[in-house]
């Protein structure tokens, strides 16, 4: 486990000072509820305008993929918007799609010279992904990425908004 790199906090991802924060976006990239809405509200109109340009270019963002914008008024430099899967029982490639969301976000961060990145708990809100299963996928994917790309990040931060996710991630990280 890359515990010197992987860190965990409980709080509001819109207040985290990292090179990039990850937005658990929907495929439209136009904002929504949960963390997506909070990031768009806190970051201001610039993020939405850049998302609209991406939509015009490529028609949104597919599940498991990621796109990047500046961070507007947020303390980060970038927002990486990724679309996690909607939970449909686990037999529709959800674990692979969720892993892709984390992996593609990390890759975009790396390509944009980000040394620090903060993730929310992707797909565990309205998308209904079971929190323990999502934490296992997140931790395993990030650990594998760090193995495959040693020294690529100084800090990978998991930002849990609620007590439940924080406790789940604490257990998943410490093994």
> Among all residues, which ones are annotated catalytic?
36
List strands edge to edge, sheet with 155-160. Answer: 6-10, 155-160, 116-119, 20-24, 78-82, 66-70
The half-sphere exposure of 151 on its side-chain side, counting CA atoms within 13 A, is 0
Place of tokens 């949960």: 34
What is the C-alpha separation between 120 and 138, in angstroms, rounded?
10
* Backbone torsions φ then ψ of 113, nearest 5 degrees: 60, 35
What CA–CA distances, in Å, run from 134 to 60, 87, 95, 96, 141?
23, 10, 8, 11, 11
């Amino acid at each position: 486990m890359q515990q010197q790199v992987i860190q965990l906090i409980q709080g509001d991802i819109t207040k985290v000072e990292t090179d990039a924060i990850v937005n658990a976006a929907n495929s439209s990239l136009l904002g929504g509820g949960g963390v997506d809405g909070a990031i768009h509200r806190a970051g201001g109109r610039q993020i939405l305008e850049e998302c609209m340009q991406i939509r015009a270019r490529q028609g949104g963002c597919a599940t498991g993929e990621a796109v990047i914008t500046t961070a507007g008024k947020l303390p980060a430099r970038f927002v990486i918007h990724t679309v996690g899967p909607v939970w449909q029982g686990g037999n529709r490639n959800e674990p692979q799609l969720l892993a892709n969301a984390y992996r593609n976000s990390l890759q975009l961060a790396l390509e944009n010279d980000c040394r620090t990145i903060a993730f929310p708990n992707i797909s565990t809100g309205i998308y209904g992904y079971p929190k323990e299963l999502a934490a296992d996928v997140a931790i395993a994917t990030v650990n594998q990425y760090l193995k495959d790309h040693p020294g690529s990040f100084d800090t990978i931060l998991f930002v849990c908004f609620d007590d439940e996710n924080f406790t789940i991630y604490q257990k998943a990280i410490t093994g």
